[in-house]
């Protein structure tokens, strides 16, 4: 986990693609209230329950990435959305005819706060589980934990993390 002192700025799996991306080399281990809140959130989540709060978050990135990450926060627990649907939402919000699903996927893949900002709920068209920086096995496990029927999802022969 990483924090700016008051809000969570990062939460990664060990070995995750983009692990600690953007974290200052001078970062030091500390005990912070926001870490306690994040641990409480994770305990509830991994206990199979829907957390009824979100720890303070400070999503640092480009304006485009921040907009995508805000859309991720709106995906309900136990539901999925496709990269294309996210792209269509983003295009509509910005008054555009269309938006590249690949560009949205790149932003989703660089989400710095795994699980709490639920990028694992984004799937490819046709149910492909491609594109999880934490690993496709973890993505599948998180979806199952949320009670999502994963029987029709597919794992590509060669997974990608955008």
pLDDT, tens only, 45-81 = 999 999 999 999 999 999 999 999 999 999 999 999 9
- State whether 69 and 133 are in the same domain: yes
Range of the domain at 11: 2-46
- State whether 135 and 68 are in the same domain: yes
pLDDT band at 10 (very low <50, low <70, confident <90, very high): very high
Task: Tell whether the torsion through CA atoms of 35, 24, 71 and 12 is positive or negative.
Answer: negative
Q: What angle do CA 94, 57, 9 make, to 5 degrees?
A: 105
Instruction: Please tell me whether residue 10 adopts helix, strand or coil conformation.
Output: strand
pLDDT of residue 154: 86
- Point out the catalytic residue in the list 116, 119, 136, 161: 119
Whether residue 29 has pLDDT greater than 50? yes
- State whether 35 and 101 are in the same domain: no
In a domain, 52, yes or no: no
Identify the residue with better confidence: 94 or 155.
94
Whether residue 147 has pLDDT greater than 80? yes
pLDDT band at 130 (very low <50, low <70, confident <90, very high): confident
pLDDT of residue 162: 45
User: What share of the chain in percent tops pLDDT 90?
Assistant: 67
The number of domains in the chain is: 2
pLDDT band at 111 (very low <50, low <70, confident <90, very high): very high
pLDDT of residue 116: 97
pLDDT of residue 55: 97
CA distance 87 to 26: 36
Query: What distances in angstroms separate CA 53 from CA 23, 27, 49, 126, 132, one per listed residue?
Result: 25, 27, 12, 32, 24
In a domain, 157, yes or no: no
In a domain, 57, yes or no: no
- State whether 26 and 69 are in the same domain: no
In a domain, 101, yes or no: yes
In a domain, 58, yes or no: no
- State whether 32 and 79 are in the same domain: no
User: What share of the chain in percent tops pLDDT 70?
Assistant: 90
In a domain, 53, yes or no: no
Give the CA count within 13 Å in the CB-facing half-sphere of 89.
15
- State whether 31 and 97 are in the same domain: no
In a domain, 24, yes or no: yes
119 is catalytic: yes
Instruction: Please tell me whether residue 113 adopts helix, strand or coil conformation.
Output: strand
In a domain, 12, yes or no: yes
- State whether 125 and 90 are in the same domain: yes
Whether residue 26 has pLDDT greater than 80? no
Whether residue 160 has pLDDT greater than 80? no
Instruction: Please tell me whether residue 8 adopts helix, strand or coil conformation.
Output: strand
Asked if 22 and 12 touch (Cβ cutoff 8 Å), the reply is no
First to last CA, the chain: 21
Mean confidence (pLDDT) of the chain: 89
Q: Could you tell me which residues come within 8 angstroms of residue 49 by beta carbon, excluding any fewer than 6 positions away?
A: none
CA distance 109 to 27: 23
């Amino acid at each position: 986990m990483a924090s700016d002192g008051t809000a969570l700025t990062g939460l990664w799996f060990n070995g995750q693609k983009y692990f600690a991306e953007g974290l200052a080399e001078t970062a030091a281990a500390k005990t912070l209230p926001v870490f306690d809140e994040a641990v409480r959130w994770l305990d509830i989540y991994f206990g199979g329950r829907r957390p009824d709060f979100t720890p303070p978050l400070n999503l640092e990135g480009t304006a485009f990435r921040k907009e995508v990450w805000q859309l991720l926060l709106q995906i309900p627990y136990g539901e999925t959305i496709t990269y294309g649907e996210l792209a269509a939402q983003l295009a509509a919000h910005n008054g555009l005819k269309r938006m590249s699903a690949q560009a949205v996927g790149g932003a989703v893949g660089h989400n710095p706060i795994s699980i709490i900002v639920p990028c694992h709920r984004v799937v490819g068209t046709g149910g492909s589980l491609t594109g999880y920086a934490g690993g496709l096995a973890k993505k599948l496990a998180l979806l199952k934990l949320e009670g999502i029927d994963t029987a029709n999802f597919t794992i590509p022969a060669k997974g990608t993390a955008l």
